[in-house]
Amino acid sequence: MLTILYIVIAVILLIFSLQFIMIIGAKRSTGKKLEGLQGKLKILEKKGSKGLIYFFSPSCRACKAQTPVIKELQKSNKNVFDVDISRDMQTAKIFGIKATPTTIIVENGTVKNVMLGVKSKDVLKNYLSS
């Protein structure tokens, strides 16, 4: 019985450790100068630009909740982009995306903020307007 308890505790610690590592990795991207973006995202490399890039995967459950929020923001802001990592792995690599959903705020060609998980429309609007 004690062995099972130790195994359960070890699994819980492993899960929290992996989440912590992903958060630290995401925060390391903050301040990164953008280079090598293609297509519509190229505009975000310029000074004076500001935008949001949402990375998702069609098979991600959390993404299915976040995607409608992003689609709504895209209607009112031309600098809100979505990237399906299953179709555009090159862009995901540039940003070091390791989990979905990941939302990145870009300002003046630099990563200003990286957010993991589902975020509300109000939170995302605040980042875009600040």
Comparison of pLDDT for 5 and 81, the residue scoring more: 81
- Lowest mean pLDDT, pick from 24-38, 46-60, 115-129: 24-38
Comparison of pLDDT for 52 and 17, the residue scoring more: 52
Q: Distances in Å between the alpha carbon of 26 and those of 30, 95, 106?
A: 7, 9, 14
Dist. CA 4–CA 16, nearest whole Å: 19
Q: Using an 8 Å Cβ cutoff, are 35 and 46 in contact? A: no
Comparison of pLDDT for 65 and 5, the residue scoring more: 65
Q: Where are the domains of the chain?
A: 2-129
pTM: 0.81
The confidence score (pLDDT) of residue 6 equals: 86
pLDDT in tens, 57-74: 999 999 999 999 999 999
Q: 2-129, what's its fold?
A: Glutaredoxin (3.40.30)
The confidence score (pLDDT) of residue 74 equals: 94
